Amino acid sequence: MAIFTPVWAEYHPVGTLHTMRALLVVNPAATTTSARTRDVLIHALASEMKLEAVTTEYRGHARDLGRQAARSDDIDLVVALGGDGTVNEVVNGLLHAGPDPEHLPGLAVVPGGSTNVFARALGLPNHAVEATGALLDALREGSERTVGLGLASGTPGTEDEAVPARWFTFNAGLGFDAGVVGRVEQHRERGRKSTHALYVRQVVRQLIGEPHRRSGTITLEREGEDPVTDLVLSIVSNTCPWTFLGNRPIYASPEASFDTALDVFGLSRLSTAAVARYGTQLLTSSPERGPRGRHAVSLHDLTDFTLHSKVPLPLQMDGDHLGLRTSVTFTGVRRALRVIV
């Protein structure tokens, strides 16, 4: 008996992939996919593999489904149809007991959100139908890669020590950018759509209300190195680009890669002049050149480090606001998860 309750009937297809058993996790609130599109994608996937499709019903449901798949002997692949939040939940479910890429189900992504950073960083098309075609091609060809991930946890000996550890796929942030994410989420809870224009407006409002624009409260500590102090903004990247503004990739840490540990970009000042300077540099950034200057800090390939703050600051991971923290320990874990690309 199946451990899942499929929303659509179980399919028994024929074809080159008919022996593969897959779970499709569908976020019905995904920004850019209609019910009709989702139906087409489901039938396309089901035509080539044994597929169960489950629609998420509550926050954390995708994580629960990922955990069940990791514990099951009957699932070869988990496909996440949704945005970066859905992917993050599935990944945290799959890795609930730790990374084991040789034995855990593989992950595939069909982008359905507004930005889809993880899928696009993997080189997938940003259109759900095209991405499904690319996924089927990759499965037929046996094309996959094992990517590194970031892990954030409460720091021992601090008030955040008991905070559960959480994986992230492309970035995390403590401070300014997490505050922007929190503002956007508040608007989404009121029924607003997540658009790039909404993000830009919230950046401006967060900047106006930032109480530590000229002297930050964040310190980065790592073993054997002097601490980096007084940061206002701290962005932790597991890959590049950091995000997208429409179709424009933004590179905060151009050297970041799924094949290395973690990169950090920090700013110690957000005065009007600094914002103009570094904002322009971000908008014109490229894989060869990211933002730089005397208020900017760029660190590459860090395996373990901690961000401390003198005051509680917002934390985000993969675009999900996680509340306020004063201390977070980050670990870059290489070769953590198999991904079909």
Query: Tens digits of per-residue pLDDT, 207-235?
Result: 666 666 667 999 999 999 999 999 999 99
Evaluate if pTM is beyond 0.75: yes
**Is pLDDT at 122 greater than 60 in this prediction?**
yes
Mean pLDDT of the 256-283 span:
93
CATH 3.40.50.10330 domain range(s) in the chain: 21-142
Task: Specify the DSSP class assigned to residue 143.
Answer: -
Estimate to the nearest angstrom the gap between the alpha carbon of 122 and the chain centroid: 12
Q: Rounded mean pLDDT of the chain?
A: 89
Q: State the architecture of 149-335 in CATH terms.
A: Sandwich (2.60)
**Is pLDDT at 2 greater than 50 in this prediction?**
no
Residue owning tokens 């993000």: 199
Burial class (CB in 10 A: 0-12, 13-18, 19+), 119: buried
Residue owning tokens 């149809």: 81
Q: What percent of the chain has pLDDT over 70?
A: 87
> Higher confidence at residue 114 or residue 142?
142
What pLDDT, on the 0 to 100 scale, is given for residue 33? Answer: 84
User: Which CATH fold topology does 21-142 show?
Assistant: Rossmann fold (3.40.50)
Q: How far apart are CA 187 and CA 183, in angstroms?
A: 7
**Is pLDDT at 250 greater than 70 in this prediction?**
yes
Mean pLDDT of the 128-142 span:
95
DSSP character string of 106-141: EEEEEE-SSS-HHHHHTT--SSHHHHHHHHHHHHHH
What pLDDT, on the 0 to 100 scale, is given for residue 186? Answer: 74
- Backbone φ and ψ for 243, nearest 5 degrees, come out as -160, -175
> Higher confidence at residue 338 or residue 161?
338
Helix, strand, coil percentages, rounded to 5, for the chain: 25, 35, 40
CATH 2.60.200.40 domain range(s) in the chain: 149-335
Residues in the chain: 341
> Higher confidence at residue 157 or residue 191?
157
What pLDDT, on the 0 to 100 scale, is given for residue 6? Answer: 41
Half-sphere exposure of 186 (CA within 13 A, CB side): 9
Burial class (CB in 10 A: 0-12, 13-18, 19+), 194: middle
What pLDDT, on the 0 to 100 scale, is given for residue 155? Answer: 92
